[in-house]
Chains A and B, each alone.
Chain A
Amino acid sequence: MSTTVSSSRPGNPQPGNAGKDAAAATVSAKPVGWKTPVFLAAFALISLVFFGLLAPNQTASFGISTGSDFFQLPAIQVNAFAGGLMLSILLLGLAAYAIYLKTRDKPVPGWLTVAFIVLFVVAFLIWVVGGARTPSISLAGLIAGSVTLAVPLVFGSLSGVLCERVGVVNIAIEGQLLGGAFTAAIVASMTQNPFIGLLAAAVAGAAVSMVLALFSIKYLVNQIIVGVVLNVLVSGVTGFLFSTVMQANKAQFNSPPGLDIIEIPVLSSIPVIGPILFRQSLVGYLMYIAVLVVWVGLFKTRWGLRVRAVGEHPQAADTLGINVNATRFWNVTLGGAVAGIGGSFFTLVAIDSFTKEISGGRGFIALAALIFGRWNPIGAFFAALLFGFADNLQSIVTIIGTPVPSQFMAMLPYLVTVLAVAGLVGKSRGPAASGIPYVKG
């Protein structure tokens, strides 16, 4: 007697295999596939050939202190060839260990994948900088910039986490960000108060989400359709109002006062981590708080337990007296508010006015971060950081002049996501009931 009664997983994407898997899953051992070890080995080899053997024999220099730090650290100097080679060997070691684990039918542990990604990124960075005309960048600046660029991504992916964990697919992150950015700009301009603008952004994001929730929960319209269409709708409405209202009177409607960077004394002067953690705008600090709150909330509280139950097995939640659709509605709304705050970053922190399509597809990168981060707030945070890093690197490589075209850097988040969903990080499994409307009975 050993059948595992598990739902056929909607997250399990093999067409026609979902049910079969469930039926076949007679023990709990998670499937151990060859995919991850093979991927790791392939990337280790890429690293060996390109970042190691073919690396220029030039020294890459990474500045790790900025002028405002209270003590200065010397820049790190790495020979691109030697550094790349060494890191590649480490990568090969990790890949070999993954293969060894596979032969013992053990899954690749999460830390290994994370360590692999980090080392690979470092190797890549050394190679890029080492091959540049001016092989020197400020690492501290790079990382701080990455965090900054990641802020809207983190908020967006948190919105995705909140929605998907409760069983609603949120393709409308882009629309929520855009709606938040627009509303923050116009409200902050009219009230001349960025905090009210921030609040308004949250409301706007929530409003977009409410439409998503209404159509997908009440009218049972396919969630992906609503998401896709909402993005168009928000783009249309904001574009229309931008052209008619904002353009007509820029001073009154599109010159929001910005949110200042708040420096926490002393702490902000710690090299590298100071600027990341303690030299942020209000939105930046809110980001850290939001990640923690969502994580703790989802996994440690009653609210989180219920949310996850609704996202995994709504019928079960319903039979225990939990109102599935109400839970979904309010969580999706909350998610929208979070994304809206992320949107305000564009107009209140990054740039001082709204332009059409200011979110520029970052909602989709946030979606990617959500999947890459495996539907976990912390995971999504780091995935968003990685994508922010790629984004930032893109502008830096154009400045220092590397052989890698900037367009390929811009492509990276998307490529990484394709690899991720194609199985680099193992079979990522979303909440089981995500995307499925709940009809009682």
Chain B
Amino acid sequence: MVRVLKLELRGITKRFGTLLANDHIDVVVEPGQIHCLLGENGAGKSTLMNVLYGLYEPSEGEILVDGKPVSFRGPGDAMEAGIGMVHQHFMLVPVFTVAENVALGAEPTKAAGFLNLDETRRRIKEISDQYGFDVDPDALVEDLPVGVQQRVEIIKALVRDAQVLILDEPTAVLTPQETDELLDIMRQLKSGGTSIVFISHKLREVKAVSDTITVIRRGKVVGTAEPAASTTELASMMVGRAVSLTLDKAPAQPKEKTFEVRNLTVIAPNGQHVVDGLSFDIARGEILAVAGVQGNGQTELTEAILGLQERVHGSILLDGQELLGRSVKEVLNAGVGFVPEDRSVDGLIGTFSIAENLILDRYDQAPFARGISMSPARVLENAKSRIEEFDVRTPSGALAAGTLSGGNQQKVVMARELSRPLRLFIASQPTRGVDVGSIEFLHKRIVAERDQGTPVMIISTELDEVMELADRIAVLYKGKLVGVVPAGTSRDVLGLMMAGIPPEEHVHTTQAAEAADTTTSTSDAEGGDHV
């Protein structure tokens, strides 16, 4: 029995205080359609979906299900109405089994409230078989790979008879191959009668699977588009102006290799080799981009270089000096500039002033400190010039860094790291969650640092960013180096490398036309740490 459900959002407005996250948004999701909400990070897509899912109450506007207005006081009501949602950060309890996670909130029980998980197991098997999911109901969720966890999320929605499934940035954590599998699943679901709201900023995926596209920018619907629309057309709608998708960048002029990594192995607390025998080098005046799906050892690699990892073997040489075994402070003082992947957690102290954040790793050095006595005036002075140089949009350096937008926060981190003489610059996810304007600026600064003759290492899970910045590309898979390939390598080859298949094992077929498929690389993928 397939129930069809038509969903309508009318004039949805959501304010957070004075901030307008959604401004009179109208969206109609027809039954049996894949409806894409396309927009930059921070455009208000997730807020809208959280309104639809009953997590937020709309400030204005109404939701109609099959033409009747409904009001959801919580996700329970939304689920009751046949709406399911897979959040960008999975809503799974890590220490529960799959069955417990699926049962939660709608638990089949025996007498006196005792759980009856057999019923749940049966349903999981059923759905699992139907869509070819291969999920063990008794596995602990924390033991499952991300792709499987995502399927558990989908099962959770299907068990509750979801007619409309909201997928919030579902591909952010997946390899290109897993992404394709997910797109297949979406098509299957659609043919089974489930409509899907697909939230994404990745044009390629959106074009591949959508029936209708609604573009959202700055909290407003700016138009609808057909999947057939060209990539540049979609991109400029999304960003609001013509986007130059390529970065003006002179060819690299690599000089001597001053940064060498030899047989680097990082062992996690659980004994796993999360970085496994890596060897590579970077020349002065060259950008090496490290590509790979989130969680394949990139974090540990950068942390090992910086001295944040404990069990590390091998050798890390900068200008012939061994960095391994030194403290973070010593590594920084050796001339390593580091932009961490999660700036709000590792890069900034939100409650500290911008000025203080700008000296976070130099607070104890001249001219900011003499002995252990600090000079607040010098700190502010420094802030003034850095803010100007990096175009940080803020009225004062004395404000808390947490009040800045993502792009400006990243500029603060970048300003701090680039404002001293460097012998190596490492930037992890340099433009994650950053608006397009800032991306261009940040990319230019990175290239400028390269042109000054600094070896630069960029770690990015965004293939587009990798392809744009790299002079050479290294691909990591399960902590191992799959290969180092030149900048022009095709998306397909890189995609396969990201799934662990070395470049020599597959034939280079498509090389052209891929560049046109580029999106603006704005991902708000937060990665696996905070789900």
Q: Do chains A and B touch in the complex (CB under 8 A)?
A: yes
Please give the distance in Å from B464's CB to the nearest CB on chain A. Answer: 20
In the complex, A323 Cα to B75 Cα: how many Å? Answer: 10
Q: A401-441 interface mask toward B, CB cutoff 8 Å, 1 = contact, 0 = none? A: 00000000000000000000000000000001000000011
Residues of B within 8 A of A3 (CB): 145-146, 173, 294-296, 528
Contact B106 A320 (CB under 8 A): yes
| B228 contacts chain A at the CB level, 8 A cutoff | no
B53 engages A319 (CB within 8 Å): yes
A255 to B260 Cα, complex, angstroms: 81
B114 contacts A6, CB within 8 Å?
A: no
Q: How many residues of B contact A (CB 8 A)?
A: 69
**Contact A301 B104, CB 8 Å, known A5-B528, A7-B531:** no
- The B contact surface, by secondary structure, is loop
Residues of A within 8 A of B92 (CB): 5, 313, 316
B215 within 8 A of A: no
Distance between A301 CB and nearest chain B CB, rounded to angstroms: 5
Q: Is B247 part of the binding interface, using a Cβ–Cβ cutoff of 8 Å?
A: no
Q: Which residues of A contact B248 (CB under 8 A)?
A: none
The stretch that binds A, out of B23-31, B265-273, B349-357, B390-398, is B265-273
The SS class assigned to the A binding surface is loop
Please state if A23 and B50 are interface contacts (CB–CB under 8 Å): no
Task: Name the A residues within 8 Å of B345 (CB-CB).
Answer: 19
Establish whether residues B531 and A300, one from each chain, have CB atoms under 8 Å apart when the complex forms. Answer: no
* 4 smallest beta-carbon distances between A and B, as pairs: A321-B76, A3-B295, A320-B105, A28-B143
Which residue of chain B has the shortest Cβ distance to A312 in the bound complex?
Answer: B93
Name the residue of chain B whose CB is nearest to the CB of A33. Answer: B269
Interface CB pairs A-B, < 8 A, 23: A4-B528, A5-B90, A6-B528, A6-B531, A8-B529, A20-B309, A23-B527, A23-B528, A23-B529, A24-B270, A31-B270, A32-B271, A306-B105, A308-B93, A309-B96, A312-B93, A315-B91, A318-B75, A320-B76, A320-B106, A321-B75, A322-B105, A432-B94
The answer to whether B79 has its CB under 8 Å from any CB of chain A is yes
* CB-based contact A305/B103 at 8 Å: yes
**B274 engages A24 (CB within 8 Å):** yes
Q: Which residue of B lies closest to A431 (CB)?
A: B95
* A244 interfacial by beta-carbon distance below 8 Å: no
Q: Would B270 and A306 count as touching, CB distance under 8 A?
A: no
Known pairs A301-B114, A309-B104. 10 more at Cβ < 8 A? A1-B293, A3-B146, A19-B529, A19-B530, A21-B269, A24-B270, A27-B272, A29-B270, A313-B93, A322-B104
A384 vs B275: C-alpha distance when bound (angstroms):
44
Q: Is residue B74 contacting chain A, with contact meaning CB distance below 8 A?
A: yes
Contact count A vs B, C-beta below 8 Å: 178
Say yes or no: A302-B95 contact (C-beta < 8 A), given A5-B90, A20-B308, A28-B140.
no
Q: Which residues of B contact A20 (CB under 8 A)?
A: 299, 303, 308-309
Which chain B residues (468-527) contact chain A, with CB distance < 8 Å?
A: 478-479, 499, 527
Neighbouring A residues of B527 by C-beta, 8 Å: 23
Shortest Cβ distance from residue B297 to the other chain A in the assembled complex, whole angstroms: 8
Indicate if A249 sits at the interface (CB-CB under 8 A).
Answer: no
The one of B79, B113, B143, B530 in contact with A4, judged by C-beta atoms closer than 8 angstroms, is B143
B116 to A: closest C-beta gap in Å: 9
Cβ–Cβ contact A7 & B94, under 8 A: yes
Question: Are the CB atoms of B271 and A302 closer together than 8 Å?
Answer: no
Instruction: Give the distance in Å from the alpha carbon of A312 to the alpha carbon of B101 in the complex.
Output: 12
- Residues from chain A with Cβ under 8 Å of B174 in the complex: 1
Q: Return chain B residues, CB-CB under 8 Å to A301.
A: 109, 112-115
B14 to chain A, nearest CB (A): 10
Decide yes or no: A24 and B93 within 8 Å by CB, A302-B113, A306-B104, A441-B55 being known contacts.
Answer: no
Q: Within A269-328, which residues are at the interface with B (CB < 8 Å)?
A: 300-303, 305-306, 308-309, 312-313, 315-323
Inter-chain contacts of B528 with A (CB < 8 A): 3-6, 22-23
